[in-house]
Amino acid sequence: MTAAAPQAAAQQEGARRLRAGVIGLGWAGQQHLAAYAADPAVDLVALSAMEEHLLERFGEEHRVPGRYRDWRQMLAEAELDVVSIATPTFLHAEMAIAALEAGVHVLTEKPMAQTGEAAASMVEAARRAGRVLEVSFNHRRRGDVTALKTVIDSGVLGDIYYAKTGWIRRQGIPGLGTWFTKAESAGGGAMMDIGIHMLDMTLHLLGEPGVTAASAMTHAEFGPRGRGGSGFGVSQLEDGAPFEVEDLATAFLRLDGGATMLLESSWAQWIPEDLCYVTLYGADGGATIEWAGGPGNHRITVWTEVEGIPAELSPQVGEDRGHAGAIAEFLQAVRSGDVAAHDGSLALRRARVIDACYASAAAGAEVAVEG
């Protein structure tokens, strides 16, 4: 394939309807298929899942002709232009690479892969194939994040030198005894699952500074005792399925230019209600986004000075775009033909930071982040 071929192919794709497929029909996969089905320039032609009842239900609901238990068969037969991967983390790299090698553009759920090494193999495959590879970080498309990004880019806060961010659940370990809590399949616990959302959101707000080093610690106090599951009280752990990941992680990150970030994530903690936040400290102002008790309760506040008078601002917040926004941007990238700018590199940088956090926790020392 010549250097011009991928761009020419993508431009051709931009001029016609795109054929889309979805692998995995859990909650995230359902968000993807709904977004494709709602796009008038997309034909949702194939679904793949192990659960027959989900294939039948969503296939009938959205009139999808291709329904496959075997995702490889779907890639071979469905003549896809784009595919979303919403499966357990350990399957992302294998599925994405196979799709890219088949000439299909790929949008995968976060986290990108269990390790930075696996994520790097996905980026290499995208570059070889000349296809788009993106990762769905839906929380950066929230209305409050978009509003705060506008404030930051206007210069109101000045140079931002410190950020604190975290997602702490009162009780929310996903799937005790399932792939979520096994090291080999998930790659990690709370940091890998929800901490990566806050890492992505905060680096996005800060304008994508590089992360140079991490000093982290992990804890597992709830999961090993069967506590902290998505229900109430003590959950019954499955026989032979020990809790192998952390339920709380904290990290101190050094950023390019001398700024620093404190990142915390927890699936279960003795707190009154779930809390998710980003707080930024700038030379000319500060700002915070926070939701407590559920993602519908968003608050955004900015503190600064106006003509020397201390002022508190409440920026107007637009709609949350979530997964629909991530999928719209993915399709726009496919149609643009600019595959080099959408090869998964940004998500790979996130994976490298998470790798360094886990390495630091294991070593009990600060660890450099691989470039």
Answer yes or no: pTM beyond 0.85: yes
The two three-digit tokens of residue 322, written as one number: 């979530």
Residue extents of the structural domains in the chain: 4-139+332-337, 143-320+353-368
SS3 295: coil
Task: Calculate what percentage of the chain has a pLDDT beyond 90.
Answer: 82
pLDDT at 278 over 80: yes
Q: Which of 276, 107, 294 is nearest to 190 (CA)?
A: 276
Placement of tokens 């409440």 in the chain: 314
Work out the average pLDDT over 52-63: 96
Q: pLDDT tens digits, residue range 163-221?
A: 999 999 999 998 877 888 988 888 999 999 999 999 999 999 999 999 999 999 999 99
DSSP-derived pairing of the beta strands 18-23 and 82-85: parallel
Which run of H or E residues covers position 199? helix 196-205
Q: Could you say which of 3.20.20.105, 3.40.50.300, 3.40.50.720, 3.50.50.60 is the CATH number of the domain covering 4-139+332-337?
A: 3.40.50.720
Work out the average pLDDT over 258-270: 97
**Residue 295: per-residue pLDDT:** 55
pLDDT band at 14 (very low <50, low <70, confident <90, very high): low
Q: What is the mean pLDDT of the chain?
A: 92
**Residue 318: per-residue pLDDT:** 87
Q: Do 4-139+332-337 and 143-320+353-368 show the same overall fold?
A: no
Work out the average pLDDT over 259-263: 98
pLDDT at 276 over 70: yes
- The single-letter code of the amino acid at 343 is D
Q: Which architecture, in CATH terms, is 143-320+353-368?
A: 2-Layer Sandwich (3.30)
- The single-letter code of the amino acid at 231 is G
pLDDT at 346 over 80: yes
The two three-digit tokens of residue 357, written as one number: 């956090």
The angle formed by the CA atoms of residues 366, 369 and 371, to the nearest 5 degrees, is 160
The angle formed by the CA atoms of residues 106, 94 and 2, to the nearest 5 degrees, is 55
Placement of tokens 């000349």 in the chain: 130
Q: Is the CB of residue 241 less than 8 Å from the CB of residue 181? A: yes
